[in-house]
Structure 1
Amino acid sequence: MAFGISDDLLGTFVPVAVYWIYSGIYVMLGDLENYRLHTKAEEKAKNVASKSTVVKGVLVQQVFQIAISLLLFTVVNDGSGVVQPQPSLFVILGQFMIGMVVIDTWQYFMHRYMHNKFLYKHIHSKHHSLVVPYAFGALYNHPLEGLILDTIGGVLSFLLSGMTPRTSIFFFSFATIKTVDDHCGL
């Protein structure tokens, strides 16, 4: 518990805050034209979804993630509110590695599966409507895709690695930074 806030709540809300703060840093850095993969003109011409639509879509995704995270922590802790003891640093590093292998493997195969003709047309094409990616569009996708790729992938990595809610604060914040970097367009 930090600052009187439970690890469950921090594990739920810190990655969301990291998403918007880290994405905001990219926005504040400005154009960085020399480092962009695409020009601003290409972004305006090729992206189907407006930035306000993307923000709304990401917020919907995050509401689902928050609800499932709170439910998961309640189930894991049996609703007792008892703080789990932290394992050694060596164990935490192992949990991080297992968690990354699980979430990356899950997302890789689910993402490839989303490219079949039916799922791409009806679900995954929403994510690819941002032809020219930018940081805060990283989680812009169909809610079902967000549930399958991101939320279920996160739950599996949390459970299979055996991490505590406190460890998950750092793990999911790191995974969030990685996702934003992957989609930043630089």
Structure 2
Amino acid sequence: MTKHYRQRLVAVIALSFLSFTSPLLLTRNASAENPIASKASSQEINSLIKKLKSNDERELDTAISELGEIGEPAIPALIEALQDENLQVRQSATEVLRQSGRPVIPALVKALTNSDVELRRRAAALLKKVSRSYWNSSELSKVKTVVSQLIPLLQDSDAGVRSRS
């Protein structure tokens, strides 16, 4: 084996190793440090919720994205936004909550007991959507918990709530 061939072989192996590990390093760093979630105040969250009323698609998409990145601290404000008079705000809040997954379940379960019929309808529909992602996973116990919360809604006075349960 020639010296030139050995150097090329070492370089190829090193590049291969780096190409496999660098995405993992970048991903690990990005998930470890979520500056938006750690710095989000209630004022910033409320400001983003107000931006959900925007007719500018870029501003709306940015607000949805940032609220999704904030995660759990934004959930109570998003649940409140489900009661907003503006349809676009309700739809955008629904989308963010749907994408949030498991952390949103306790807040939605709590919303099922709210006196506002529209909120109960949206919460029931969202719970169904969120729980579907767990059907084929090892977290089937979470689905059982959600289903046990939806069953009493089959007796709800509102037909819309019953149909979404």
TM-score range, shorter chain: under 0.3
* Bigger Rg over Cα: 2
| Bigger RCO of structures 1 and 2 (CA < 8 A, at least 6 apart) | 1
TM-score (norm 1): 0.22
TM-score (norm 2): 0.24
- Structure with bigger helix share is 2
